[in-house]
Amino acid sequence: MEALVNPSIRFWNGKRVLLTGHTGFKGAWLHLWLRSLGAQVHGLSLAPETTPNLSVLTGIAEDSVVSTLGDIRDKVSLNRLFEREQPDIVLHLAAQALVRRSYSDPIESFSTNVLGTLQVLDAASRCASVRAVVVVTTDKCYENKEWLWPYRAAGRPGNPGTARLRARVGQRQRPRRREGERLAVQPRQRPWQISR
């Protein structure tokens, strides 16, 4: 995690990164930033919905070497992409993040944000090259109470479109570890089968 907080060329140079949601605003900037640090980034996203769009203006979306336009819910295509790209790190930003759309079409939102995230985690668990997966979400996955303190994982879900963190974490306790003990996910092991 240190390398994500304080990115260094030494860490990222040559790393193979699979970035979902790379045609979105944050994903496009992250794609450009990681490439500037020397990472070999390949993005997976739906085609951009807005014009203008950063990923289109920079050429990321149309570059088939660094971009695949597709759906994270397509298990077969997703597994093929993992097999072909053999990523070291997976950064999962893809989501249906529009709150109004989540209320008008909650099934589509849950399908993308929950099942899509599970598909990404499952594909990553089957790919021996993957060393880390980071799932990015938003504070909007929690009910907004306008508190002075930060949101907590124990909070209630906020809206249908941003419920993927709740699906991943749920209300269960996270595995506890003693000082100096590391939690490890073994290659080809499901993300929820964590060994101590």
What pLDDT, in 10s, does the model give residues 154-190? 555 555 555 554 444 443 334 444 455 544 444 444 4
Please give the pLDDT value at position 151.
59
Please give the pLDDT value at position 15.
96
Give the whole-angstrom CA distance, residue 90 versus residue 134: 6
Give the whole-angstrom CA distance, residue 89 versus residue 18: 6
Least confident of 46-60, 119-133, 154-168: 154-168
| Confidence tier at 143 by pLDDT (50, 70, 90) | low
Please give the pLDDT value at position 80.
97
- Total domains in the fold of the chain: 1
pLDDT of 145 over the 90 cut: no
Among candidates 142, 172, 168, 147, which has minimal Cα distance to 157? 142
Mean pLDDT of the chain: 78
Please give the pLDDT value at position 25.
86
CATH number at residue 91: 3.40.50.720
Please give the pLDDT value at position 53.
85
Q: Is residue 196 in some structural domain?
A: no
Please give the pLDDT value at position 63.
75
Q: Is residue 175 in some structural domain?
A: no
3-state class percentages of the chain: helix first, strand second, coil last, to nearest 5: 40, 15, 50
Task: Write out the DSSP string of 77-112.
Answer: HHHHHHHHH--SEEEE------HHHHHH-HHHHHII
Q: Containing domain of residue 86, as a range?
A: 2-169
Q: Is residue 189 in some structural domain?
A: no
Q: Is residue 74 in some structural domain?
A: yes
Give the whole-angstrom CA distance, residue 67 versus residue 141: 28
Q: Is residue 163 in some structural domain?
A: yes
Highest mean pLDDT among 4-13, 33-42, 158-167: 33-42
- Averaged pLDDT, 108-137: 93
Q: Is residue 178 in some structural domain?
A: no
- Averaged pLDDT, 66-75: 93
Please give the pLDDT value at position 160.
56
Task: Write out the DSSP string of 146-188.
Answer: --SSPP-TTSPB--GGG-HHHHHHTTSPPPP--TT---BPPTT
| Confidence tier at 84 by pLDDT (50, 70, 90) | very high
Q: Is residue 28 in some structural domain?
A: yes
Among candidates 115, 118, 113, which has minimal Cα distance to 98? 113
Least confident of 50-64, 104-118, 122-136, 147-161: 147-161
pLDDT of 70 over the 60 cut: yes
